[in-house]
Chains A and B, each alone.
Chain A
Amino acid sequence: MTNALEMRHIRKYFPSSGVLACDDVNLAVQKGEVHAIVGENGAGKTTLMSILYGLVTPDEGEILVNGTPVRIGHPHDAIQQGIGMVHQHFKLVPSFTIAENIMLGLEPNRVGFIDGATEAENVRQLAESFGLPVDPNARVKDISVGIQQRVEILKILQRNAQILILDEPTAVLTPQEVSELLTVVRSLAQAGRTILFITHKLAEVKAVADNVSIMRRGKSVGTYATHGVSIRETANLMVGRVVTLQVEKTAAKPGAVVLSADHLLVAGTGGIPAVFGASLEVRSGEILGIAGVSGNGQTELVEALVGLRPVDQGTITFLGQDITHNTVRERRGAGVAHIPEDRMIMGLNLKTNLDENVVVTSYQHEPYSKRGFLQLEPIRQLARDIVEKFSVRSARVGEEIRTLSGGNLQKIVLGRELKGDPKLIIANQPTRGLDVGSIEFVHKTLIEERDKGAAVLLVSVELDEILALSDRIAVMFAGKIVAVLDVKDVTEEKLGLLMAGSSLEHAESAAEKAHL
């Protein structure tokens, strides 16, 4: 039987960055299978998929669709060959309806005018035929992320895609949405579509894929039947060494309250309150995890706590001092460290070198500057220390950091923020987009800091991460902290329901029922 898709000896070198992203990569995918592609960051998964979708031209190699060699130089060619892609960041028009988005560019028209009724009807039929019900007339800006993803999938199905590429499709979903998506993926495969499922999360691979191809540093390590390899084996193959997936930690020894926020009201971008009366407490020597679907006010809460966003009402107390209206610098001076959500824009300045990045929080103090003049040697020494202590591979003093991998960039951020033993560490999605090895490192570091007596506030949309690291878990929904639970009392199901807006009582009873 011929393969639905084959990629042979794919090689891609990026001369500008000097990266050999794909080095003789081979991939064979059968019709009607769910084929997972896993690998660390920078392993070449995204490049390989970009080549398949015509966004990047390979230097060498060939692509065969149903056994016939094809040339894909542009996404148009890919679509023509029945290849469709759902990107990690959705490409939908928020102000358009679902039907308008799906039919964009293919609008049925009557003497030059778009025939809206037919459009909606077509979409309804399409959605029903694939068992993906949507309301064709709802506007994209009003629907949830899970439905938006469904719209993206329908959009490529409408264009008659036989091979669907899903790039990290579960990164933005709640656990319930994830399980729905996995069901959809299975049913599409049963209907004869071929699915390429790119992901970091090995549990999902196990749950949904027939076969898994592993990539490491631009090379294909191999393709395995999913039932034949364990999660641990897959992780080891990805990283090339043995990794510990389980975070090892001892019981917390919580001390005094370090940070307390009382009924915070914080406006989001655009002036509408994003944090709506949230209260929380973090003690020294404990990790408080904030669980929630992204976009429920976590970012605004963090920004308010560190001083980047004004607080409209409520108070923030840090070590007994009211810091509600203090500047970022004052808070940092008092011992607040911040590992931001977006390390590329907020955590680091990619336009400059390592030295100037590590000194941004301390440049105004001696020995890094004297009477307004920067002291280069102490700054270099600081950079050297951080590179050494956090083993930031391939970062060198005085050189640009643009080309470093996500994991190494995050190590620079960690090194800078944890210098000087902060009393409070606010980490917002500290492992987002990192590979298994780097995640392990970040987790270990946060636990070490906890054991040294720091209070850690961890915000994450990854439930696994919250469950693995936290001592207590606060669930955030619609700008409020809806429940604070001890980690011993929670289950993934219960958290999932709370994150979706159920009350605590309801979540508890539902979780019990599920167990009966």
Chain B
Amino acid sequence: MRLLRRAVDSLSIPLIAIVLGLAASGVFVIIAGAQPIDTYQRLFCEGFGPNPCATFGDLLFTQVETESGVLQTVFSPTYGAGGSRIALVLEQATPLILTALSAAVAFQAGMFSIGMDGQFLMGAITVAFLGYWLPDQIYLLAGVTDPETAPQALLTIMHLIIPAICIAAAMLAGAIYSWIPGYIKIKLNVNELISTIIFNAIAVQLVGWLINFPLRSDLNNIARTRRIDDTAWLVPFNRGIFQDVEWFSGARLGVGFLIALVAALLVWYYLKRTTAGYEQRMTRGSSLFARFGGIPTGRAALRAMIISGALSGLAGAIAILGVERRVIDGFQASGTGFDGVLVAILSKESIIGILLFAPFFAGLNLGATNLQFGNLPRQLGGIIISFIVLFSAMEDFIRARLISLWKRRTLLQRTAPVDKPDGNAV
């Protein structure tokens, strides 16, 4: 019961924010010359819906034609034929979950680091390089000239260890890239918000240069790195173990998603149940209190920055190893890290909230991308998301004005009959 109340309490603000965000973006939908309700139905259908999907109702239950030509009602989220978008949403949500966790860990040490984008890119470029370079070295050592002819045993062993090494390297790269702003904050009191923004910009330029020059693989119009070796690839379910399951067919959802779920669990455990997590949360709550109690606050904050960076680096690794398999020019501007920051803010850094809102964000982005094939601008998704985050940042306003207004009304209604006899007695 208490758990339920707490869940309702922590979810009410984001849900109200979503409703207000959609209402406010309605203005822009009208300016773009469309019907808000209509547009939102299409947006959500494109984002989360099955095929066919036309109304909000279809998001839950839809009618499909079976092979024999009979109409049949199905539960949309589990309906996979023609590509249920849920698998795709989860694929897109995977790096978002990790960058949101990354932001949450930093925030929960009182470090307002928004360097997830930079750390994500450093992780991505690290595995994009190691993903082909490392197998190359092993083939060279083993004397294999053509991977096609390599012994199966060698390939199996490589397939087990190379992704792990790549992931570890990406986490290290992200961690270092986050440690630097953390260190100069602790030692020199350089504002971490500003330094991480600058570090993001540096990472974008650095990766741009790397893929255009040293790591450019071919003379393709758009610069790109070499595709990673098959042994480094985190094979998606639809190409691997769940080849025949229709539900997975439309997406490159894979092991990476499971890694993200495990990471979420570990982060929760770290924050709530370890002394290190306790130290960083107390540092955030009141750094004076933490210092007063003898907690080494600088060390706690720095440790949080390192863990945060490692999580973003992991996000970058999974995006490349599981989905993209190479870095293509333009990947730097994906904004996955920053979306993660927004998810963390919207979910108020709660781990369950992150697991709920990361797919929500991913679906909205997906819906907006597909909407542009209609007559609506793709930026609509961005506008909606921005409004939602804006309203959720207005938590105090929502709490003080809307919720208390509602509570006061119900309170008055409840107490009114009690007050009356009192008044008569006087």
Contact = CB atoms under 8 A, between A and B. Distances in A.
Contacts of B404: 15-16
Given A364-B275, A372-B274, A374-B278, A328 B292 contact: yes
B234 to A, nearest CB: 30
Given A346-B288, A372-B274, A372-B276, A361 B293 contact: yes
Contacts of B408: 15
Interface stretch (A90-98, A133-141, A349-357, A448-456): A349-357
A374 B289 contact: no
A345 B282 contact: no
Category for how many chain A residues contact B: 20 to 34
B242 to A, nearest CB: 36
Contacts of B293: 328, 360-361
A332 B294 CA distance: 8
Interface string A311-352: 000000000000000011100100000101010011111111
A361 B295 CA distance: 8
Contact of B289 (A327, A347, A373): A347
B321 to A, nearest CB: 30
B292 A352 contact: no
Given A15-B407, A327-B294, A340-B292, A349 B286 contact: yes
Contacts of A338: 292
Contacts of B282: 349, 352, 356, 360
A296 interface: no
Category for how many chain B residues contact A: 20 to 34
Contacts of B288: 342, 345-346
A372 B275 contact: yes
Interface in A1-21: 15-16
A329 B294 contact: yes
Contacts of B275: 363-364, 369, 372-374
B286 A345 contact: yes
A247 interface: no
Interface in A352-400: 352, 356, 360-361, 363-364, 369, 372-374, 376
B294 A345 contact: no
Nearest to B295: A360
Q: Chain B's interface: helix, strand, loop or mixed, by majority? A: helix
B274 A374 contact: yes
B407 to A, nearest CB: 6
Interface in B267-283: 272-276, 278, 281-282
Contacts of A340: 292
B285 interface: yes
B259 interface: no
Q: Which has the most chain B C-beta neighbours within 10 Å: A327, A349, A356? A: A349
A101 to B, nearest CB: 30
A7 B334 CA distance: 63
Q: Chain A's interface: helix, strand, loop or mixed, by majority? A: loop
A104 interface: no
A308 interface: yes
A15 B411 contact: yes
A409 to B, nearest CB: 12
Q: Which has the most chain A C-beta neighbours within 10 Å: B278, B286, B293? A: B293
Contact of B285 (A16, A306, A349, A363): A349
Contact of A360 (B274, B289, B411): B289
Contacts of A332: 294
B401 interface: no
Contacts of B278: 356, 363, 374
Contacts of A374: 272-275, 278
A327 B288 CA distance: 14
Contacts of A16: 404
B263 to A, nearest CB: 18
Interface string B286-317: 10111111111000000000000000000000
B292 A346 contact: yes
Q: Which has the most chain A C-beta neighbours within 10 Å: B274, B275, B281, B289? A: B289
B279 to A, nearest CB: 8
Contacts of A306: 292
A372 B275 CA distance: 5
A310 to B, nearest CB: 12
Contacts of A376: 273
A16 B293 CA distance: 30
A20 to B, nearest CB: 12
Nearest to A364: B275
Contacts of B285: 349-352
A198 to B, nearest CB: 27
Nearest to B293: A360
Contacts of A364: 275
Contact of A349 (B272, B274, B276, B289): B289
A15 B276 CA distance: 36
B6 to A, nearest CB: 11
B286 to A, nearest CB: 5
A346 B294 CA distance: 12
16 contacts: A15-B404, A15-B408, A328-B292, A329-B296, A338-B292, A346-B288, A346-B289, A348-B289, A349-B282, A356-B282, A361-B294, A373-B275, A374-B273, A374-B274, A374-B275, A374-B278
Interface of A: 15-16, 306, 308, 327-329, 332, 338, 340, 342, 345-352, 356, 360-361, 363-364, 369, 372-374, 376
- Pairs A-B, 5 closest by C-beta atoms: A329-B294, A360-B293, A349-B285, A328-B294, A351-B285
Given A16-B404, A360-B289, A372-B276, 4 more contacts: A348-B289, A349-B290, A352-B285, A356-B278
